[in-house]
């Protein structure tokens, strides 16, 4: 039972082409499993050389026998669709790039908490702060705390004068 798959020259070429044209490590490994099976390697030997389990080798060989080369591509597992729809992501991108004050808020920078509240109000979809951070990062936005300074909001001449006076007072006893 350990030996196993006979390939024609066309099948070998098809597998070899898929192996070198794919960007997926899983597909590359699956092609190698079939090619090594043709070379009369045992299931245990293939698993050891490729660093996978014997169950993986057996499964890939079974998939190939049933569906050929197309069966070597991994199938996306079923599951619930994400709530971050393209429409939501579009509104998120638009909101992040808009000054909150223009939307009627009393603050000038978004925090993740504030953005989550705004998006929940606008879209009806609420995400946790952590999940929204991940979505922002995935969309290429940097999430950092703003640095609050008075620079640009104070009279620099008065500030420098007061700073000088403070230094003079510190030097006196």
pLDDT in tens, 148-158: 777 777 888 88
Judge whether 16 lies within some domain: yes
CA–CA dist 68, 61 (Å, integer):
10
Co-location of 63 and 98 in the same domain: no
In a domain, 170, yes or no: no
pLDDT digits (tens, 9 = 90+) for 158-171: 889 999 999 999 88
| pLDDT digits 0-9 by tens, 69-122 | 989 988 777 788 888 999 999 999 999 999 999 999 998 889 999 999 999 999
> Do 67 and 14 fall within a single domain?
yes
Domain of residue 15, residue span: 9-72
Q: How many domains does the chain have?
A: 2
Q: Are residues 91 and 64 in the same domain?
A: no
Say which residues have a Cβ less than 8 Å from residue 61's Cβ, sequence separation at least 6: 4, 5, 33, 34, 37, 43
Instruction: Give the ranges where the chain is alpha helix by DSSP (H).
Output: 9-21, 25-38, 43-50, 54-67, 86-96, 112-123, 129-138, 156-171
User: What is the rounded (10 degree) CA torsion for 153, 154, 156, 160?
Assistant: -140
Residue 59 within any structural domain of the chain: yes
Q: Would residue 102 count as lying in a domain?
A: yes
Q: Show the tokens assigned to 157.
A: 């001449």
Please tell me the pTM assigned to this model.
0.47
Neighbour count for residue 116 (Cβ, 10 Å): 20
């Amino acid at each position: 039972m350990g030996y196993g798959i006979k390939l024609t020259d066309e099948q070998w070429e098809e597998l070899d082409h898929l192996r070198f044209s794919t960007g997926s490590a899983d597909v590359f490994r699956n092609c190698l499993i079939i090619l090594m099976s043709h070379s009369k390697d045992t299931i245990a030997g293939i698993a050891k050389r490729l660093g996978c389990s014997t169950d993986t080798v057996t499964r890939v060989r079974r998939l190939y026998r049933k569906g050929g080369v197309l069966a070597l591509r991994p199938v996306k597992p079923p599951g619930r669709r994400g709530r971050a729809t393209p429409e939501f992501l579009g509104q998120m991108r638009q909101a992040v790039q808009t000054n909150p004050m223009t939307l009627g808020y009393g603050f000038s920078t978004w925090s993740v908490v504030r953005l989550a509240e705004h998006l929940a109000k606008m879209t009806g979809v609420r995400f946790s702060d952590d999940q929204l951070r991940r979505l922002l990062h995935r969309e290429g936005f940097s999430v950092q705390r703003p640095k609050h300074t008075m620079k640009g909001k104070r009279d620099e001449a008065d500030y420098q004068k007061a700073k000088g006076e403070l230094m003079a007072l510190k030097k006196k006893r």
